[in-house]
Amino acid sequence: MLRKTLAILLVIFSLKSSAQQLVLPGDHPDPSVVKIGNSYWATATTSNWLPAFPLYESKDLVHWSKRAVAFTKLPDWADYYLWAPEISYDKGKVYIYYNGHKKGGSLCVAAAVADRPEGPYKDLGPLIGQPDGSIDAFSMRDENGKLYLIWKEDGNSIGQPTPIWAMEMKEDRTGLIGEKKELFRATEPWESKLVEGVSITRHGEFFYAFYAAAGCCGTSCNYATGIARSKSLLGPWEKFDKNPIISDNASWKCPGHGTPVVFNGQNYFLYHAYNTKSANFAGRQGVLKQFEFTPEGWIQFVENCNGTTPKPVTINDNFAGNKLSLAWQWNVFEKFSKSVKANTLTISALPKVGSFIGQTVYSSDYDVQVTVVSAKSTAAGGLALIGDEKNLLTATVSLNKITVTEVKDGKSRIVAETEITKSPLVTFQLKVRNNSTVTFLYKTSGQTFRELNPEPINAAGLPPWDRGLRAGIVATGKENQSASFKNFMLSDVK
């Protein structure tokens, strides 16, 4: 009993001693969290990467383990932009409310349901899709127990206002009922005409809405977090006169879009922010911060500590077993095969930029390495630094030629070519410094690494507006060809 009590106290102390703590490193925008049984479960945006919506489990909100993913393929009705999954638990069922772009239509809010947090999830389809888009859903029961869906109308995408709406939802989550009711919209200068990412908790006589405002993403972001309150879910809502309550500091930039949660009687907010050093290259990362309710009936965040420095990450994937680890992702627009056998990953090729899979990066300085099994490859295989399908850097080997290619806005340019003696194994290394200075190296069996591009490549334009970079592998060629790989490694440089 004493040992268990001490363990709990240590966890509480570690949370209290870190007012703003990185807990989901790497690209995890719009994180959501809920307690189910004795565990906490979290998920985050994947945008145009599959599998969609990782599912993490934790006992303490700080140490998370990836257990599953919600979707291994796109829902039948959607074609891209899988955003803002909000995980919730109600009456023995687990729900994920999420955004997707409807084929031939606009952004929609949809729902999926499972009996367990790790799934499998059954997609229930779209709930609402306004002409200018509907995003950032959150479910909440009102003061009478009636179930509502709260969401943002994506008016900013066409230069219009962005109201936050509420509408009654069917208990089976298959549709909305009645008329929508506006809760609030952007009215303050700091909000820059945009509010979104609402999550709500109830305490005492008030409902409290955490909301994000202004520009979420990229190098010019100005995101911040505000609070509003109301005695009734449908309003009237009053905004805090001290908003924004979370904004930029020395370590984290553009904080917002998260979920409040209770751990051991203390209140926390899990949200995303850019680390000021790795910026948009590593994406929006999951950050935890403690808050308290004030005697005046508002919210204040605890500001008494540190804990903001990301820890170096090292990944070694030897492709053991018969399937890819959950850390790998691929593009929603590309269809190709993947197989793992005898410590070797084989992926089928695609023409032009190729087929690619990747893992999130975590810092501003890192090395990546992989070995191409040339003896088993019929396509050009190699290493890649990936923004999206139109922006990436690759170094590949085919027969006795190595090619370094830059793809920018969908247009390819050969940066360097090197003739080599044909080798059964070719190992590539990728060195990234200060986020965007990129050097490729290679070696054949028994040799040492040699630079492929003595002049570093500038990768500043690679990250998409809403995602961080991925480091991974690529196979370029005809669709009936493939490339094989061994020993993928990614390591932060201290």
pLDDT in tens, 404-450: 999 999 999 999 999 999 999 999 999 999 999 999 999 998 899 99
Average pLDDT over residues 255-282: 98
Of these residues, 27, 30, 389, 492, which one is catalytic? 30
pLDDT of residue 494: 85
pLDDT per residue as tens digits for the range 352-386: 999 999 999 999 999 999 999 999 999 999 999 99
Q: How many CB atoms lie within 10 A of CB 154?
A: 21
Instruction: Return mean pLDDT, the chain.
Output: 95
Beta-bridge partners for 293: 299
Phi, psi for 192 (deg, rounded to 5) = 50, 40
- Record: fold of 16-301: Tachylectin-2; Chain A (2.115.10)
90 is a catalytic site residue: no
pLDDT at 351 over 90: yes
- Give the residue from 112, 254, 266 showing the smallest Cα distance to 196: 254
pLDDT of residue 308: 57
Q: CATH code for 314-492?
A: 2.60.120.200
Of these residues, 123, 136, 191, 196, which one is catalytic? 196
The phi-psi region of residue 216 (left if phi > 0; otherwise alpha if psi is between -120 and 50; otherwise beta) is alpha
Say what the pTM is.
0.94
pLDDT at 17 over 80: no
- Domains of the chain, by residue range, sit at 16-301, 314-492
pLDDT of residue 310: 75
pLDDT of residue 5: 33
- Give the residue from 119, 98, 109, 138 showing the smallest Cα distance to 55: 119
pLDDT of residue 457: 98
Does 54 sit behind a cis peptide bond, omega within 30 degrees of 0 on the bond before it? no
Phi, psi for 136 (deg, rounded to 5) = 60, 65
Report the greatest alpha carbon distance in the chain: 75
Determine the 3-state secondary structure of 290 from DSSP. strand
Which residues are CB-contacts of 46 (< 8 A; sequence separation ≥ 6)? Answer: 52, 53, 54, 82, 329
Phi, psi for 376 (deg, rounded to 5) = -105, 0
179 is a catalytic site residue: no
Phi, psi for 303 (deg, rounded to 5) = -125, 35
What pLDDT band is residue 18 in, cutting at 50, 70 and 90? very low
Long-range CB pairs of 418-422, under 8 A, 24+ apart, other chains included: 418/442, 418/452, 420/444, 422/374
- Give the residue from 384, 370, 372 showing the smallest Cα distance to 424: 372
- Give the residue from 303, 343, 353 showing the smallest Cα distance to 323: 343
pLDDT of residue 19: 65
pLDDT per residue as tens digits for the range 294-324: 999 999 999 754 455 678 999 999 999 999 9
C-alpha distances (whole Å) from 440 to each of 151, 370, 404, 416, 426 are: 45, 12, 8, 10, 13
**Rg for the chain, CA atoms, rounded:** 23
Say how far apart CA 31 and CA 46 lie, in whole Å.
Answer: 10
Which residues are CB-contacts of 464 (< 8 A; sequence separation ≥ 6)? Answer: 47, 48, 387, 388, 391
